Amino acid sequence: MTAPRILVLSTSLHPQSRSRVMALAARTELDALGAQTSWFDCRDVQFPYMDGHSAGSHAATVALRSALGAADAVFLASGIYNFDVSAVAKACLELGGKAWDGKVVCIGCATGSMVSFMAPMGIANSLMLDFRCVVVPRFPMATQAEIVDGAVADAETSRRIREACAMTVRLAGATRGA
């Protein structure tokens, strides 16, 4: 059996993004677990406005759909803003469309405080109900104190990322071909 193909999707546009640091840490963990990882950084593309018409044929949308289509699972990293994932994360969901169907999705978030622990539920609901995704029931989260100088500086946060990645690999392997 081949290793699951897991896309690490970094949705932050911020130059010192903490969620991007989490995405990189997840990629390292997924590689160590033997997954075939790929990387999509939203800072490298310019997504179109969602106009319900031409956005689907835009080059960035095509690239996102291609990356999603080649994956069994996705580690989606986002910042939390106003108790929700970023607008870019939401745009990835909308622009990705049917390419999300049936994926295993792990959501990792950088947040101002752990009070936001329920913030990923809106996107998790959309993934489950609109695209029949299996959402990993572990949302690794990190506050500003846990990401220092471009690295995960907290052992507990590292453990949460490692456990979420291990569960993502297990679920991706179990659901492939189902």
Domain residues of the chain, as ranges?
A: 5-175
Q: How far apart are CA 78 and CA 17, in angstroms?
A: 9
- Total Cβ atoms within 10 A of residue 50: 13
Say which CATH architecture domain 5-175 belongs to.
3-Layer(aba) Sandwich (3.40)
Mind listing the pLDDT tens digit for each residue in 42-82? 999 999 988 878 898 999 999 999 999 999 999 999 999 98
Assessment of whether the complete model's pTM goes beyond 0.85: yes
Pick the closest to residue 28 from 132, 152, 177, 125 (CA basis).
Answer: 152
CA angle, residues 39, 14, 166, in degrees to nearest 5: 40
Helix (H, G, I), strand (E, B) or coil at 7: strand
Mind listing the pLDDT tens digit for each residue in 90-106? 999 999 999 999 999 99
